[in-house]
Amino acid sequence: MRNRPRKSRGYTVIEVLVGISLLIIASSGVVALQKVATQGNGHARELAVATQVARSWVERLRTDATRWNSSPKTGQVSDLPQTVWLNQVNAAPLTWFRPTPSAVLGSPGADIQGNDVPVVNLNDAFYCTHLRLSWMFPEEVIRADVRVIWQRVGGLGGFGNQGVCSDNQPTAAFSDPLQLPLARYNFAYLTSSIVRNKAQLQ
């Protein structure tokens, strides 16, 4: 007997459903991976900008130190009080504070690209800078800690529904986990030394 050719068969409904299910499962994995990659890239960009903001503040403190030329160790009256921010090393040592805005040296608030935010718009700042000063070598070298803060999810909504750089935002709250849900914020820290300007003494 001759073998009769088999009739071509189409796909059954079950086979089609299984194929679609596998495609959906594979696609969901790709979508989830893309979401994680996008979030990671966004966080890396924000961290890079925050680090740059912190570096710019170290340079601003060094610029502020150009007003600090004399000290009791040289037999002269210290002119440290004439500085804009460095004078806080004696007024409030080892205490975090938000630097007062300066028309010449800059603002503590920065937008999402790291540019200074005008004083009148500090509530809209994406990043906020805090400083902490202490003596490394009395009357000669100041240790400067710079802390840049921003929210994990962009926008406002800081402590008490205030912006992260608002006047009503308590600086001390960012060091006390009992007062503030710190998990909502990201922090970038940078430490440097600020040396008294000795150009006029040489």
pLDDT of 155: 43
Which strands sit side by side in the sheet containing 185-195, from one edge to the other? 109-110, 127-137, 141-151, 185-195
Average pLDDT over residues 14-34: 77
Let me know: does 117 contact 109? Beta carbons within 8 Å.
yes
Check: pTM over 0.85? Answer yes or no.
Answer: no
Widest pairwise Cα distance in the chain:
122
Let me know: does 127 contact 50? Beta carbons within 8 Å.
yes
Average pLDDT over residues 97-111: 90
Q: Please name which of 154, 54, 59, 58 lies closest in space to residue 112, comparing C-alpha atoms.
A: 154
pLDDT of 178: 65
Q: In which residue are the tokens 């490394």 written? A: 136
Return the percentage of the chain with pLDDT > 70, whole number. Answer: 80
Q: Half-sphere exposure (CA, 13 Å, Cβ side) for 36?
A: 6
Decide if pLDDT at 102 tops 60: yes
DSSP string, 58-105: HHHHHHHGGG----GGGTS---GGGSSSTTHHHHSTT--BPPPPBTTT
pLDDT of 201: 43
CA 189 to chain centre: 8
Average pLDDT over residues 85-114: 91
Q: How far is 99 from 50, CA to CA, in rounded Å?
A: 16
Decide if pLDDT at 6 tops 80: no
pLDDT of 154: 46
Q: How far is 29 from 32, CA to CA, in rounded Å?
A: 5
Q: What is the pLDDT of residues 137-194, one digit of tens each?
A: 999 999 999 999 998 864 444 444 567 888 777 787 787 766 666 678 899 999 999 9
